[in-house]
Structure 1
Amino acid sequence: MEDLLKLLDRFDQSSGWFMDFLALVMAAAVVAMLGIHIHRFATGKTDWLGRTPQEEDASGQVALMQLEVCRNENEDLKKQLALSLAENQDLLRLLKEFEQETETLKNRLETSDKKVAALKELYEELDRRFADETYTMTQIMYAMDEINLAVSNPEYFERNRVDVCMNILDYLINTIKDFRSKQPRVTIHVRHPDRDDVLIHYAHSTGHNHWVKRYQPPVDGSAAGKAWRTGTPVYIPDVNEPGVEYHRKEHSQRLYRSILSVPIIAGNELSTRIAVLTMTGAPVDAFDKTEMERVLLFASLLYPLIHMDLGRRGEMNG
């Protein structure tokens, strides 16, 4: 190891001139190459990077080719973009048409739903009317059975006149729609045997107190009296309205606002009148046209029964 170190030290001492010579040669070579490069650049044989015109042309051609490729790709992208925009416009148009068709179908569906609801409501109304008319006919039949039995058996009617008349008038009440809330009450008055200015109690429905038998409506100044005088129905939707012909009884606990009085008469001959049927209702304007017609029907049904009874009792005169 020591021998090797000694050898290297001798080589370094003996070769210093060689290294100086080698550095000088390399510097000369660099200067020569730099001179040649400057000369070739000055004469136009190369560019400053040392490239010949052929190499530069080749590089330019490559750059141009690359630029052309980029232009072509750009044109393709523009065409694809235009095509996408056109397709997008078509999709928007189709979407708009679809929305319009959807809105049209929605409107048709709403119209159909309204028609179905109207038909359903009409059906339900017809069903209610049918049920109401059926029930009304049942009550009329019951009333006619009572009347037929009474007319065919006067002695039976004379013994049970109060109950028979109450049953018939209750059947009439049952034909009034919502009679539980309207709380209708019915009375029948006939001519007073001794006075011409008032009428007298003949019969009444359930729901009255015992004072109903004492009330004698005046011929002038009451709804029953007006129906008696004119031979035509009298309907007062609200007895509290000023100017109506209604008898306001003192100390009366009146529980009604509407009153309907119809004459019990044969046809339109005033001379055939024998009584007045009066119905009261709790709410204002309690009775509609159909209910008034039912009251008139029951008044006609009652005519032969009351006529027979008054005749048997000798109270038809005057």
Structure 2
Amino acid sequence: MDIEFIFKVIDAEPWLAYTLVGFGVVLAAILLWRVKNGDSVSLLGLNLQSDAKLTELEKQMEEVGEDSKQKSYVIQSIHTLAGEVSRLLFQPCEGFEDNRRKIYNYFLSAVLATMSGKKGNNPKVCIFVKGDEGMLKVHEAAAHSPDGMRKLQLSIADSAAGHTYRTGEIFSSGAIHTPGSHFKEHPKAQSKYHSLICVPIRVGDQILGVLSVTGDEEKSYSEDEQAYLMAYASILAPLLHKELSKQKETERVMS
């Protein structure tokens, strides 16, 4: 009865049918547009949601999971390093060099793993200490070529690492080639990178050296990763202090 009545109305007023069809098309277009833009839409009890929205949510959850794994790894690494450094500082000097080397191997591997979260970073790690007059030299490094480690020296007065060594301030940039940056490209550099973090290695007010990490991509590192690097530098400080003290004592005896 109702259906027959509707058909009679449509037959008598065909413009009404066209209006209803047009309205339906417009409504469908609006719904599809909203779904495409990530909105959740409900129609007659049916929930429609964009695949893009779900994909974005899945990506966010994945990133949260990766951040949690990274933090757990850093905490475990720092805990291990703290124990090893403390043990080395209070053990007889006979095994110092061998155990020092093992600690640095673990330390550098941990820093590389921590800073390798973003694909394309290709981090390179350097620990700089004071070298010849007005220069910083490589004390330990990872992912650098042996030849590069031997030759690399940075000006204390005119480099990002030198700025950190002089002032104790952290240098962090995701675009180091921006005009006005403390970064000065080394004329003999074998590779080009765009991100750099330099953190001081210090005992009290004394700056012992600089822990430096480069990244090939712009904005390679987050604030969290900068904080991790600071924590690693703090753990290393007592060991580096003992090394430099032993070195000075050896030089004094030999002079």
What TM-score do you get using the length of structure 2 for normalisation?
0.71
Map residues 292-307 of structure 1 onto 2, 5 A cutoff. Answer: 292-307=226-241
Instruction: Quote the residue 1:181 is aligned against.
Output: 120
Correspondence for 1:168 among 97, 103, 107: 107
- 1:198 lines up with 2:146 in the alignment: no
- 1:310 lines up with 2:249 in the alignment: no
- Which of the two has higher C-alpha Rg? 1
Distance 2:74 2:107 in 1: 13
Decide whether the 8 Å contact of 1:263 with 1:276 is kept in 2: yes
Of Structure 1 and Structure 2, the greater strand share is in 2
Task: Give the number of aligned pairs.
Answer: 228
> Cα distance, 1:181 vs. partner?
2.7
Instruction: Quote the residue 1:85 is aligned against.
Output: 8
Q: Secondary structure at the match of 2:199?
A: strand
Going from structure 1 to structure 2, the CA distance change for 1:293 and 1:85 (only over 3 Å counts) comes to same
Instruction: Quote the residue 1:34 is aligned against.
Output: none
Instruction: Quote the residue 2:208 is aligned against.
Output: 274
Correspondence for 1:219 among 143, 156, 171: 156
**Unaligned stretches of 5+ residues in structure 1:** 1-80
Q: Residues 137-173 of structure 1, C-alpha deviation per residue, up to 9 Å, x if partnerless?
A: 3333343344233223362233453443232122111
Going from structure 1 to structure 2, the CA distance change for 1:157 and 1:252 (only over 3 Å counts) comes to same
Going from structure 1 to structure 2, the CA distance change for 1:175 and 1:84 (only over 3 Å counts) comes to closer
Amino acid paired to 2:150: K
Instruction: Quote the residue 1:127 is aligned against.
Output: 65
Decide whether the 8 Å contact of 2:199 with 2:211 is kept in 1: yes
Instruction: Quote the residue 1:33 is aligned against.
Output: none
> Cα distance, 1:118 vs. partner?
6.0
> Cα distance, 1:282 vs. partner?
1.4
Distance 2:156 2:231 in 1: 23
Over aligned residue pairs, what C-alpha RMSD do you find?
3.7
- 1:259 lines up with 2:181 in the alignment: no
Higher RCO (C-alpha under 8 Å, 6+ residues apart): 2
> Cα distance, 1:297 vs. partner?
0.7
Instruction: Quote the residue 1:237 is aligned against.
Output: 174
Going from structure 1 to structure 2, the CA distance change for 1:115 and 1:203 (only over 3 Å counts) comes to closer
Distance 1:82 1:162 in 2: 93
What TM-score do you get using the length of structure 1 for normalisation?
0.59
Going from structure 1 to structure 2, the CA distance change for 1:152 and 1:181 (only over 3 Å counts) comes to farther
Q: Residues 212-231 of structure 1, C-alpha deviation per residue, up to 9 Å, x if partnerless?
A: 13322111110110001111
> Cα distance, 1:122 vs. partner?
4.1
> Cα distance, 1:291 vs. partner?
1.0
Distance 1:300 1:128 in 2: 24
Identity of aligned residues (%): 24
Amino acid paired to 2:170: P
Distance 1:148 1:240 in 2: 40
Q: Residues 245-303 of structure 1, C-alpha deviation per residue, up to 9 Å, x if partnerless?
A: 22333333124222211111245x3xx21111111111222211111111111011111
Instruction: Quote the residue 1:291 is aligned against.
Output: 225
Going from structure 1 to structure 2, the CA distance change for 1:274 and 1:171 (only over 3 Å counts) comes to same
Of Structure 1 and Structure 2, the greater helix share is in 1
Amino acid paired to 1:138: Q
**Unaligned stretches of 5+ residues in structure 2:** 32-40, 250-255
